[in-house]
Structure 1
Amino acid sequence: MLISPRWQSQTALIMALGITATSAIPILMATPATATPQSYTVAQGRRFPRQRPPISQQSTRIIVPSGTSIRVKSQEADKIVVMPDETAPVTLTTTRDIRSSNGTILIPAGSTIEGEIRPVNRGTQFFAKNLIVKNTNRVIPLNAKSQVITETETIDKGTDVASILKGAAIGAAAGAVISEIFGDIDLIEVLAGGGLGALGGLLLGGKKKAEVFVIYPESDLGLTLQSDLLLN
């Protein structure tokens, strides 16, 4: 059977259109996955704009990513002494600038971190609550924590307690127990400068010894962000 040249050209045109349409579908459907200012969904062969935040808003978000390390120290004391089951509020100060990949300072050194030391399984740990950004006084919720500190120190009658307490911030519970061990030793001046709560009274002549955590903030309380920190 002979096919006229007119039918041959129409058949070729239809086949060409069919091939073009088939190959175009995956490219069109892949469009929403591309990082363009406007993406689309496809339904019944038509393209519909998908609502997205303006690019300008996305580009101005300032985020310090989860896992970032924050170096800190205490302005109040060289060390912190607490009992294993004690929770104590602690304020720390950042010692290094936190910068973006292009060198912009995101968290300046000297910013304040508020939190508390809490007992955890087999140790004690610092949990941050708020970041107060230096020079702005902006308060930002902060999800960060230190390593778990597990090494304790035994205090008994033979301990040189003055060397432990010198320059230390003493938790109220630790102070009460230490004063109980040493009886008439005068700890009032040391405890008054501790900044972790007032001593509720001296307990005399009870415990023989106690285990305490002696924490050195600059070496023990380096913080790690547990989630992204949005600064704006």
Structure 2
Amino acid sequence: MINLRRWKSGSALVVALGMTASTIAPLSVPAAADAQPAPYTIAQLFPSSPSSPSYNRRVAIPAGTRIPVQYSQAEKVVVLPTETTPLTLTVARNIRSSSGGLLIPAGSEIRGQLRPSDGGSQFVANEIVFTDGSRLGLNAESKIVRTTREVQPGVSTDAILKGAAIGSGAAAAISGVTGNRRITLGKVLAGTGAGALGGLLLGKRRADVVVVNPNSDLELTLNSSLTVAVR
């Protein structure tokens, strides 16, 4: 009799655990091609009713997930270490769930700013605009980029500026140091030039600029989870 009770109790526990596991089994985000290399945490699937279309399902992409990005407007971005410049990147590859559901389509826009950070520049994202026009707040950032070049009078800036998108602060600093009032190479971005102008007023005859290669330097890491609809 005692053994029978133990067996029944153990069976009930096994069944209960099995039911729990099948109810809350999470959906993994792939660690390979479309998403990110790291030992992968999971994306939680929020269940919908059986009759709901698949795009009504929502998945939480976890903090720590990396998002590959690219910048099609220029080969590089040149800014002052003290300059904040708005920038829009695009998602480079589709990001999918392990079951193949599309979470973030390639070509979605990520909006944010290049900001001063610890002697370099860092992209901080605040919004993602999906290819269907829907948008979500986004908390993600790149690594800090500390690749700098020095601008001096009489030294050609062609290698720095060719193919570059240039922050307005960097453009003002380069013009002031070199004496060239017009930047003929590159594309000047809207931004804040106060740091550059302040430096020139103090009589600086050189300037350091940060050179960012967006396609390799600005891969983003989520600081908090992002809940998206499965497309």
TM-score by length of 1: 0.70
| Deviation digits for residues 92-117 of structure 1 (CA, Å, limit 9, x no counterpart) | 11111111112232211111000011
Seen in structure 2, the aligned counterparts of structure 1 residues 215 and 172 have a Cα distance that, compared at 3 Å, is same
Give the percent of matched residue pairs that are identical in Structure 1 and Structure 2.
Answer: 41
Tell me which residue corresponds to 1:186.
Answer: 182
Tell me which residue corresponds to 2:157.
Answer: 161
Taking the aligned partners of 1:197 and 1:129, their CA distance within structure 2 comes to 17
Tell me which residue corresponds to 1:47.
Answer: none
Seen in structure 2, the aligned counterparts of structure 1 residues 66 and 34 have a Cα distance that, compared at 3 Å, is same
Pick the aligned partner of 2:216 from 216, 219, 223: 219
| Deviation digits for residues 112-154 of structure 1 (CA, Å, limit 9, x no counterpart) | 00001111123221111111011x1111111211111122111
- Read off the aligned partner of 2:58 and give its amino acid letter: R
1:151 to 2:154 alignment: no
Taking the aligned partners of 2:77 and 2:107, their CA distance within structure 1 comes to 20
Tell me which residue corresponds to 2:34.
Answer: none
1:56 to 2:15 alignment: no
Taking the aligned partners of 2:228 and 2:164, their CA distance within structure 1 comes to 33
Shift of 1:79: 1.0
1:230 to 2:227 alignment: yes
Seen in structure 2, the aligned counterparts of structure 1 residues 103 and 35 have a Cα distance that, compared at 3 Å, is closer
Tell me which residue corresponds to 1:112.
Answer: 109
Gaps of 5+ in 2: 24-45
Taking the aligned partners of 1:55 and 1:98, their CA distance within structure 2 comes to 20
Shift of 1:55: 5.0
Taking the aligned partners of 2:202 and 2:156, their CA distance within structure 1 comes to 18
Taking the aligned partners of 1:88 and 1:81, their CA distance within structure 2 comes to 10
Shift of 1:205: 11
Contact 1:154 1:209 in 2 (8 A): yes
Shift of 1:228: 1.9
Tell me which residue corresponds to 1:69.
Answer: 66
Seen in structure 2, the aligned counterparts of structure 1 residues 125 and 55 have a Cα distance that, compared at 3 Å, is closer
Taking the aligned partners of 2:81 and 2:47, their CA distance within structure 1 comes to 50
Contact 1:181 1:205 in 2 (8 A): no
What SS does structure 1 have at the residue aligned with 2:58? coil
Contact 2:71 2:214 in 1 (8 A): yes
Tell me which residue corresponds to 1:196.
Answer: 190
What is the 5 A alignment of 1:74-113? 74-113=71-110
Shift of 1:216: 0.9
Contact 2:63 2:225 in 1 (8 A): yes
Shift of 1:25: 10
What is the 5 A alignment of 1:8-23? 16=1, 20=5
Q: How many residues align?
A: 199
1:172 to 2:158 alignment: no
When the two chains are superposed, the root-mean-square deviation of aligned CA atoms in Å is 3.4
Shift of 1:162: 2.3
1:127 to 2:124 alignment: yes
Taking the aligned partners of 2:95 and 2:22, their CA distance within structure 1 comes to 31
